[in-house]
């Protein structure tokens, strides 16, 4: 491939990022954003999912011609793939097949020739229906609902208001993990029998008082609620809520995760690591 043309070079503040896929584009979006996060220059994303015909590719090429930038693609059809690659190379536009290096590695190890399947990771198989089941369970057990069914959970999250319980639960459910979450409310007891649960991993989510107060105030603004310095947004009251949740988790030996500076994805990754260890211990104890 030749050097990048002046038109394809980024400005001082942004650049164009074209993500071309014959499936949903989730893989490309994740990879593109992970790479883009390493730089201060912000990408303007152009996402093209379900590109499976030459007519659809025509529109993609027209957009790349109008807004040159980096092109990442996952195209299974050889003609479409080669056409996009050739166009970019001839016009000095940086282009990369995201999956090609990975597939070559698999091929070198496994041998044989891969059988390309469009959207092969999105099959209606057992894993898919497991995720749907987990999502249904999580929605039904959000914010302290149906506490009588907690033994069926894989994970139970505890935390005060605005500690990212619900978005973390939904993210975990999308990974096929049945997740319930229970709010810790001042003056209200936790569900009876919580400490007797055996199967689920119970995790406390914590955040700094400053962070919780900030989120709660923004929440009230979003609801057009009056901003009053009551217990909900008072820093001292919030600090006492956090201290209570710490004592509760410490008393019961439940792990705690500080989400103050963590993204939802990072929090979920930490929980998945704890869940794997929890399941290993359960397996060892049941086999003893």
Residues making up the binding site for ADP: 159-166
Give the pair of three-digit tokens for residue 224: 């057009």
Please return the burial class of 175, using the count of CB atoms within 10 Å of its CB with bins 0-12, 13-18 and 19+: middle
- Would you list which residues are annotated within the binding site? 159-166
For residues 51 and 77, the answer to whether their CB atoms sit within 8 Å is no
For residues 134 and 179, the answer to whether their CB atoms sit within 8 Å is yes
Cβ neighbours around 67 below 10 Å, total: 15
192 membership: H or E segment, kind and range? none
In whole angstroms, give the CA distance from residue 156 to residue 151. Answer: 9
- Cα-based distances in Å from 268 to 54, 155, 244, 246: 40, 11, 23, 19
For residue 43, which phi and psi values (nearest 5 degrees)?
A: -85, 145
């Amino acid at each position: 491939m030749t050097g990048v043309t002046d038109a394809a070079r980024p400005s001082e503040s942004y650049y164009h990022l074209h993500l071309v896929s014959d499936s949903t584009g989730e893989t490309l979006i994740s990879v593109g954003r992970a790479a883009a996060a390493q730089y201060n220059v912000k990408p303007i994303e152009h996402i093209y999912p379900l590109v499976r015909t030459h007519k659809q590719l025509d529109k993609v090429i027209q957009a790349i011609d109008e807004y040159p930038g980096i092109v990442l693609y996952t195209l299974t059809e050889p003609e479409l793939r080669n056409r996009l690659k050739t166009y970019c190379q001839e016009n000095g536009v940086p282009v990369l097949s995201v999956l090609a290096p990975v597939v070559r590695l698999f091929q070198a190890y496994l041998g044989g020739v891969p059988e390309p399947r469009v959207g092969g990771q999105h099959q209606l198989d057992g894993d898919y229906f497991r995720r749907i089941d987990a999502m249904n369970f999580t929605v039904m057990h959000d914010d302290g609902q149906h506490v009588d069914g907690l033994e069926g959970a894989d994970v139970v999250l505890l935390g005060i208001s605005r500690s990212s319980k619900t978005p973390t639960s939904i993210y975990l459910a999308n990974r096929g993990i049945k997740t319930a979450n229970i709010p810790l409310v001042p003056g209200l007891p936790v569900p009876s029998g919580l400490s007797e649960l055996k199967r689920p991993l119970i995790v406390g989510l914590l955040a700094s008082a400053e962070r919780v107060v900030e989120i709660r105030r923004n929440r009230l603004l979003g609801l057009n609620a009056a901003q009053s310095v009551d217990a909900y947004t008072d820093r001292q009251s919030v600090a006492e809520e956090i201290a209570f949740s710490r004592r509760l988790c410490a008393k019961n030996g439940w792990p705690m995760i500080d989400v103050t500076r963590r993204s939802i994805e990072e929090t979920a990754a930490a929980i998945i690591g704890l869940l794997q260890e929890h399941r290993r211990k359960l397996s060892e104890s049941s086999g003893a």
